[in-house]
Amino acid sequence: MIIPRLPILQPTLRLRLTLVYGALFMVAGLTLLGVTYLLFDQQLNQYFESRFTPEPGRFKQMILRHNGVELSGEAAREFLAQQESELRGLATTSLITQGALALIVVGTAAVALGWVVAGRVLTPLHQVTATARRIAAAPMAERGLHERISLNGPDDEVKELADTFDTMVERLDHSFDGQRRFVANASHELRTPLTLNRALVELAMHRRTATPDVKELGESLLEINARHERLISGLLLLARSDQHIADRSPVDLADVVTHVVAHTSSDAFEAKVTMYEVAEQAPTTGDALLLERLVHNLVENGIRYNVDDGTGWVRVVSRTVSDGKVEVEVSNTGPSMPPYDIPLLFKPFHRHGAERTVTGRSAGLGLSIVRSVALAHGGEVRARPREGGGLVVIASLPRPRA
């Protein structure tokens, strides 16, 4: 029989601080109570000695009357010693009992006050933690880097920590912005030499003196150049889709699906793939061009990675689901894929299968762009292997608020 291990609850910092406050207060209270008892006992001894002990060189005769009986001499001293012992015992008991009771009451109040004070002291740290969690929970790391703590308060260690955290996040934010600008600028600048290369190759191929070898070489160079142009376009689109969509307009994904299916029907016919379309109303808001690129990449991916025996198909569905979202689902026939390989498909420049040659039609950015566009619109993309081979990819986007 296997006995499950129960999780060990770790005390929070607030609880530990409260326990430390309470323990220190109880130790101080017990020390004060003990010192008070010693001083009280010393004062009581001095009182009895000064009252009943005769001064040097003098004789003190004690005569007492108790319950009608007169006591003197040794009997009177014994009676006074007995009274002193009883008085000392009552006073000591009263001091210890009432002092301990008062210490317990005040100690409980001190622990409660320590709990409140610890919470107030740790409030700035909670603010730092909440900001860090929002940054970590952002769909993309660079999206949450716009968050700042902006802690107000005295210039103490906690504020210094918050300001240092803000400085670190700001530098990371600038770094990601610079990286996006570099990708966009570099991709834009690379378009010009690629266009020039294509023009020169076409010019050389169409010369009257061009030999068949030159034309064959030109076809290969044009194919390589076209792939590089697709790569640059993909990088530009990826850099654009990584930005937050501020200017949104109403978009019905059913219209987008109908347009994309009609546009890619010729590619599907050439690949001997049958297209199925179920375009139900799926209203959302965002950038229409980016959403069209999202659906187009999914459909293009389904056509490209399919079976080549004429029995392949791609099914495109748009619908509204009950949790306030709309979806585009693209499923297709194709080779079987293990589930652990699916997350890798959404990484840039990753392709499933053996298509890694320089003349391949895919730039390896299709699903990466799909994921970036979905995240930019506040949505998500998930995928799973289809039973029998192929893939099912679902892009979920939020519905517009009423």
CATH number at residue 303: 3.30.565.10
- pLDDT (average), residues 3-14: 64
Ranges of beta strands (E only) in 190-282 are: 249-252, 273-279
Residue 170, in any domain of the structure? no
- Say yes or no to pLDDT of 40 above 50: yes
List the Cα angle 178/179/183 in 5-degree steps.
Answer: 115
Mean pLDDT, residues 321-345 taken together: 88
Is residue 257 assigned to a domain? Answer: yes
Residue 360 lies in a domain: yes
Find the mean pLDDT for residues 342-361: 59
pLDDT band at 275 (very low <50, low <70, confident <90, very high): very high
pLDDT at residue number 317: 94
| Nearest by Cα to 282 from 223, 233, 218, 327 | 327
Same domain, 251 and 385: yes
| Count of domains for the chain | 2
* Cα(316)–Cα(393) distance, integer angstroms: 10
Question: With 80 as the cut, is the pLDDT of residue 282 above it?
Answer: yes
**Residue that is last in its domain, among 137, 160, 177:** 137
In this structure, of 166-180, 214-228, 358-372, the range with the lowest mean pLDDT score is 358-372
Residue 277 domain-assigned? yes
Q: Which domain range does residue 285 map to?
A: 247-398
pLDDT-derived band at 373 (thresholds 50, 70, 90) equals confident
Q: What is the pLDDT of residues 51-60, one digit of tens each?
A: 656 555 555 5
**311 lies in some domain:** yes
Mean pLDDT of 315-327: 90
The model's pLDDT over 18-39, given as tens digits with 9 standing for 90+, comes to 888 888 988 998 898 888 888 8
Q: State which of 137, 163, 192 marks the end of a domain.
A: 137
pLDDT at 358: 36
Q: What is the DSSP letter of 338?
A: -
d(CA 276, CA 287): 25
Q: How confident is the model at residue 360 (pLDDT cuts 50, 70, 90)?
A: very low
Question: pLDDT digit string (tens) for 209-223?
Answer: 888 888 888 888 888
Coil, strand or helix: which one is 63?
strand
Q: Rounded to whole angstroms, how far apart are CA atoms 40 and 99?
A: 13
pLDDT, residue 258, reads: 93
In the structure, what pLDDT confidence band is assigned to residue 385 with cuts at 50, 70 and 90? very high
Residues in the chain: 402
Q: Average per-residue pLDDT in the chain?
A: 79
Higher pLDDT among residues 177 and 183, named by residue: 177
Check whether residue 252 and residue 373 sit in a common domain: yes
Listed residues 86, 116, 137: the one ending a domain: 137
Query: 228 in a domain, yes or no?
Result: no
Tell me: pLDDT of 353 over 60.
Answer: no
Weakest-pLDDT range from 121-125, 186-190, 314-318, 337-341: 186-190
Specify if 159 maps to a domain: no
Flag whether pLDDT at 82 surpasses 70.
Answer: yes
Amino acid (one-letter) located at 314: V
Q: Is the pLDDT of residue 1 over 50?
A: no
Contact 279, 291 (CB under 8 A): no
Cα torsion for 122, 123, 124, 129, to the nearest 10°? 90
Are 133 and 258 contained in the same domain? no
pLDDT band per the 50, 70, 90 thresholds, residue 381: very high
Read off the pLDDT of residues 97-150 as tens digits, 9 standing for 90 and up. 888 888 889 888 988 988 988 888 888 888 888 887 877 776 554 556 777 877
pLDDT tens profile 252-267: 999 999 999 998 998 8
Task: Give the separation between CA 131 and CA 112, rounded to whole angstroms.
Answer: 28
263/64: higher pLDDT? 263
Residue 182 included in any domain: no
